[in-house]
Amino acid sequence: MRELAMHAEVALATEEARDTRRRSRGSGDAVARIALINPRFDVSFWGHDHVMPIVGKRANTPVAALPLLAALTPHAHVVTLIDENVEPLDYAALAGMDIVGVTGMSVQRARMKEILRELKQRGCFTVVGGPWVTVQEDYFGELADVIFVGEAEDTWPAFLEDWQVGQWKRRYEQPTKSDMTRVPTPRFELLKMDAYLYASLQISRGCPFTCEFCDIIVTFGRLPRLKTSAQVLAELDSLRRLHVHQVFIVDDNFIGNKQAIKGVLRDVIQYQEHHGYPFTFFTEATLDLAEDDELMRLMTDANIEAVFIGIETPNEAALKETKKYQNVRPVKGSMLERIQRIQRAGLEVTCGMIVGFDHDDATIFHAQRQFLADGHIPHAMLGMLYAIPKTPLHARLTNEGRLDPADESEFGTNVIPLNLSRSQLRDGYIGVMHALYEAPAYFERVEALYFGGYLGEGQLGSEKYGKRHPWVRVKEEVTQALVAVVFACRLFRHVKEKGLRREYGQRLWRALTAGVPPSFITGYLYTCALHFHYYMLVQGLREGRLVSTL
């Protein structure tokens, strides 16, 4: 009887919420209570999930869409931002909202559907946007009252105006790409910023290249569009007030317009100098970065310490197949030589790698391992080729009858490979992941990069600043020494495997005896923590927990 009474109370509350929303819509001046949700991710390479408990954070990076949508919302409305990677969803509270928005990427699609199903059962008015619904518009069916395709700088405010008069549309899509010079400063203060390891900052959208498998140009187009320096500095001010120090510049190709980004970088360098280098950045770029020495110098002067590059494969036939021509242009040498140019400029290279192209056969697995060892790249996000809807790859493989229709395949990808069986591709992928992140292989790449002189000649702007201001440098190194002690204690307490603890202790001792400063030791400890994350990922793969590598 008590359970029946509880269900009746929930049903009554839900019906009351529906009635309230019906009365509020269409009045012309209705104030909306809006909740915007970023669903939780499954454990992933990018998420650094197994590192978060060690560093005392809940998530790696906040999604950029939520605080931006809040900034685009008229001040009369009340906006709540909820990141399920940081806090659980309160469905009872969500049932009292007028509008509940859910955004998400491809890897979040299953969780998005679960959330929307629960919201609809509670009578919520739901809207959905983001990368996945942009490429698969019918995925959520009737679970979404409204969908947003592509960018939403114009369509989100337009929808809210329509909602106020009770005349919203089922589907919104902008006729043109957003003018980035008019994008407002995101409302970072609405996020629980202290729960994240990094903040996120977007400077540009769009990429000039036409890689067959990539959905970036589907969503953002081929013409790189940038914010002004004034906009970027205003966002840095906002983050500095929130005591943020590490920032991920989330641009899919930071150097899509090289000349324009150089101007922004020069202004960021002046800002960093004026404020004592409060920020360290990392970002994403294409391999043609190696062709521009001035750009690399500006990036290190701005305190960008690492760059993620889509290298994809050492198989040049596969690169040409997928139209990744920027990786096979010999302007500055081979791919390995260009990677080393970037490393020598002082930028650490992390990368994305893919197996399963049409020109791949069983030899690709060893070739991937050898390439990453030769390139001294410790951190490589390896995945199986996946065909995203609306991409040229998806269209081609549909025509060839080589797509698995299952939403989540047991093989981890929807692509049926040409020169490998599906099980060969899956097992080969798992084998490479295991080989890459065995402790000896991983730390060989790490030590070659850090102690072998490959990460070299260029200095970060903060290092140059410290030389000009020795007391600042001393203060920072003392602080980092304390941080390193705490970090080490937490790392060794968290890692239970004795073999790993011994490995990390030996590697740390080598770093200490090399005479490096405390700030390096802190970074090296994080490298050990990242290895633990990769180790746990591989354990999951070997136990059969294989999901889409998208």
3-state SS, one letter per residue, for 153-166: CCHHHHHHHHHHCC
Residue 187: inside a domain: no
**Strands 78-83 vs 99-103: parallel, antiparallel or unpaired:** unpaired
Beta bridge partners of 381: 352
Residue 53: inside a domain: yes
Residue 75 CA: distances (Å) to CA of 33, 70, 414? 11, 9, 43
Q: What is the pLDDT of residue 502?
A: 97
Q: What is the pLDDT of residue 444?
A: 97
Same domain for 352 and 430, yes or no, is: yes
Same domain for 428 and 538, yes or no, is: no
Same domain for 264 and 292, yes or no, is: yes
Residue range of the domain that includes 487 = 469-542
Same domain for 500 and 441, yes or no, is: no
Global pTM reads: 0.94
How far is 157 from 25, CA to CA, in rounded Å?
16
Q: What is the pLDDT of residue 25?
A: 55
Domain count, the chain: 3
The b/e string for 50-70 (b: 16+ C-beta within 10 A; e otherwise) is bbbebbebebbbbbbbbbbbb
Question: The domain that contains 420 carries what CATH number?
Answer: 3.20.20.70
Residue range 402-453, pLDDT digits in tens: 999 999 899 999 999 999 999 999 999 999 999 999 999 999 999 999 998 8
Q: What is the pLDDT of residue 98?
A: 98
Question: The domain that contains 25 carries what CATH number?
Answer: 3.40.50.280
Q: What is the pLDDT of residue 329?
A: 83
Strands in 461-531 per DSSP E: none
Q: What is the pLDDT of residue 9?
A: 44
Residues of the chain with pLDDT under 70: 1-29, 457, 545-550
Residue 457: inside a domain: no
Same domain for 269 and 166, yes or no, is: no
Q: What is the pLDDT of residue 545?
A: 66
Same domain for 217 and 103, yes or no, is: no
Same domain for 132 and 264, yes or no, is: no
DSSP state of 353: E
Q: What is the pLDDT of residue 8?
A: 41
Same domain for 363 and 288, yes or no, is: yes
Same domain for 116 and 205, yes or no, is: no
